[in-house]
Amino acid sequence: MSNLLCGKLGKIPDNLIVTDNAGEIIAFGEAAEQIFGYRSVDIIGKNVCLLMPEPNSSQHDQYLVNYMKSGQRKAIGRGRLVEGRRANGSIVPVELHIGEIYISGQKLFVAYTRDAATQHSTQRLVDRIDTEFENFNRLSAVGSMAGGIAHELNQPLDAITNYIDIAIDQLEKQALAKTTDARNILARARSQVFRAAGIGQKIRNYVSTGTMDVQSVYLNTIIDDAVSSARLSFGSNAPKIVLGPSPKLILVMADPLQISQVILNLLNNAREALERTENPCITVSSKIVGSDTASIRISDNGPGIPPEIQGSLFNAFASTKPHGMGMGLSIAHAILYAHGKSIRLAPDAGPGAAFEIFLDLADPKEMK
């Protein structure tokens, strides 16, 4: 697998080290060879912990396991000065910045390294590295998002189709047609057109600026918008959607349309998973987690997620559905990554499946 991924990476920049999600080195730049004293042919296939002094060396594998389970980033995305261990056992100061990308559906970690002993380590340099890596990570996320634009637009476009079909049906029943009802239905269809246009505009903004339209917003407003859209677009034979416990008036920092779309995608995934479930039900709830984070939980009483694919759910093109694109959860991950937060499969889902979305709490004074 490492050789296959390495071949798809091609020649990497000199300062980069690329590892897989188990910490195995799959690419080692020429500048990294100079810093650490290893030849790439000797270090590729080895665990990256060889490049770290204790205690980080023995603890690194557990760091990876914790991150893959929780999705909570600590070192990823931040430039910092660390100690590296050379092949001869000596210690070297290294400027380090870690990002993540997806190649062929596989999550890879990319480390930008620079020998701090031969460079003047200034804040300006670290800031520049941060900027370069933010661009790198953004382009990776954009790749996933661009591949799933059709998936994102399916929700409002399906709703538009349903509304128009209902309006046509009403108008065809000439004796019973009510123009007011038809106008209301077509107005709803128009609102979904605006929603689809908004999704496209958000993606364009993210590509050009690297930022979301993050603002202080009531969490329940986002949830209500997504649930209302789901109920309108699901049509007949839809599962019951229950609003579970949710503290009132929670303010979060979020791009409302994007987070609403993430919730809507999760609701749609749950609906499809419940097609053969008796008395299907989806529950949406929220709560405050710690001092600065809120979470949204979307759970169902369906068959759950098979254990063998749980580790790759958020990879692009990974799908539990026979004809699924495998982009919905990958896009959700990219959107939450852009918010500086995460999404995960809840570990206590019970017999069904449950996903948790994490967002930063906002200062009530910043409410717009």
328 touches 155 (CB < 8 A): no
Q: Reduced to 3 states, what is the DSSP secondary structure of residue 339?
A: coil
* Least confident interval from 112-116, 172-176, 275-279: 172-176
How confident is the model at residue 368, as a pLDDT? Answer: 42
Tell me the average pLDDT of the chain: 76
Cα–chain-centroid distance for residue 268? 17
Mean pLDDT of 131-137: 55
Q: Is residue 5 pLDDT above 70, yes or no?
A: no
Q: Is residue 82 pLDDT above 90, yes or no?
A: no
Q: Is residue 135 pLDDT above 70, yes or no?
A: no
Please choose, from the candidates 159, 323, 348, 345, the residue with its C-alpha nearest in 3D space to the C-alpha of residue 266. Answer: 345
d(CA 170, CA 157): 20
d(CA 333, CA 331): 5
Q: Is residue 366 pLDDT above 90, yes or no?
A: no
How confident is the model at residue 326, as a pLDDT? Answer: 42
Mean pLDDT of 53-75: 77
d(CA 77, CA 337): 10
Q: Could you count the other beta carbons within 10 Å of the beta carbon of residue 338?
A: 20
Q: Is residue 91 pLDDT above 80, yes or no?
A: yes
d(CA 225, CA 256): 9
Q: Is residue 54 pLDDT above 80, yes or no?
A: yes
Helix (H), strand (E) at residue 277: none
How confident is the model at residue 283, as a pLDDT? Answer: 95
Q: Omega into 55 within 30° of 0, i.e. cis?
A: yes
Percent of the chain beyond pLDDT 90?
A: 22
Tracing tokens 């092949």 back to the chain, one arrives at 87
How confident is the model at residue 96, as a pLDDT? Answer: 83
pLDDT band at 8 (very low <50, low <70, confident <90, very high): very low
Give the tens place of pLDDT for each residue, 342-356. Answer: 899 888 767 889 999
pLDDT band at 78 (very low <50, low <70, confident <90, very high): low
317 touches 326 (CB < 8 A): yes
Percent of the chain beyond pLDDT 70?
A: 64
How do beta strands 281-289 and 240-243 pair? Answer: parallel
More confident residue, 126 or 97: 97
pTM here? 0.50
17 touches 113 (CB < 8 A): yes
Helix (H), strand (E) at residue 27: strand 25-28
Please give the full DSSP string across 128-153, using - where no structure is assigned: HHHHHHHHHHHHHHHHHHHHTHHHHH
Q: Is residue 35 pLDDT above 60, yes or no?
A: yes
Sorted by sequence, the CB contacts under 8 Å of residue 7 that are 6+ apart come out as none
pLDDT band at 285 (very low <50, low <70, confident <90, very high): very high
